[in-house]
């Protein structure tokens, strides 16, 4: 496979930044998954698609809108009715799904090169994200593993909560650098570290 370059590179400065004298409260990283795949089921075929996700990744999707789970290497969440985003540290997920998801069940779209995954973690992660997105980030409303699709200034973003104070944000690759800069600026006042 071709070596993938990060769109964040010119603005990716490892180290502590902003107001970190009293400690770093935000950790920013790029997770760089090898595969990001979007799956969509035809109406009525959702259960078969969920079974295919389980067969390929071993992840059993919980019931309900926006449900999902993350086990470190692989993650899956629903972002729209009958539609799911799956990511994997390894490459080749789209190829595996192309076999499992037949044309009668739904569609597979490989977005590995089209999205950039940014992870924000730390005690102030909810607080910083609340400055960007008009959704409820409180744990009871946004449980661990769940996914949400929303926008920041018309730039589409899919957010998965991968820990009590950790979120993975999938943004368009072409907007990733500007989003990253905005995220850094928003984290400045609480002190952040880029890893």
Please identify, using beta-carbon distances, which residue of 40 and 105 lies nearer to another protein.
40
Question: H or E element: which one contains 118?
Answer: strand 115-121
Closer to another protein by CB, 50 or 56: give it.
Answer: 50
Distance of closest approach, residue 136 Cβ to another protein, in angstroms: 5
Distance between CA atoms of residues 162 and 51, nearest Å? 22
Classify 116 as helix, strand or coil: strand
Nearer of residues 9 and 154 to another protein, judged by Cβ: 154
Alpha helix segments (H runs only) across 16-124: 46-57, 93-100
Told to check if 34 binds another protein by CB under 8 A, we report no
Q: Cα separation of 126 and 89, whole Å?
A: 25
Which x/- pattern over 148-167 shows residues binding another protein (rule: CB under 8 A)?
A: xxxx--x-x-----------
Give yes or no for a contact between 69 and 76, defined as CB atoms under 8 angstroms apart: yes
Residues that bind another protein (CB under 8 A): 43, 63-67, 79-81, 83, 134-136, 138, 140-141, 143, 146, 148-151, 154, 156
């Amino acid at each position: 496979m071709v070596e993938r370059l990060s769109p964040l590179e010119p603005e990716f400065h490892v180290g502590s930044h902003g107001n970190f004298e009293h400690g770093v409260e935000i950790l920013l990283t790029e997770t760089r998954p090898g595969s990001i795949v979007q799956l969509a089921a035809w109406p009525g075929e959702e259960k078969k698609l969920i079974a295919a996700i389980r067969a390929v990744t071993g992840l059993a999707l919980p019931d309900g809108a926006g449900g999902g789970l993350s086990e470190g290497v692989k993650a899956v969440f629903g972002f729209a009715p009958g539609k799911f985003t799956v990511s994997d540290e390894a490459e080749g997920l789209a190829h595996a799904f192309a076999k499992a998801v037949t044309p009668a069940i739904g569609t597979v779209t490989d977005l590995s090169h089209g999205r950039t995954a940014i992870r924000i973690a730390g005690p102030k992660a909810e607080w910083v994200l609340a400055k960007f997105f008009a959704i409820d980030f409180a744990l009871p409303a946004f449980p661990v593993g769940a996914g949400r699709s929303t926008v920041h200034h018309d730039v589409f973003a899919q957010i998965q909560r991968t820990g009590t104070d950790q979120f993975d944000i999938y943004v368009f690759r072409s907007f990733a650098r500007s989003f990253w800069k905005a995220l850094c600026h928003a984290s400045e006042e609480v002190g952040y570290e880029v890893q």
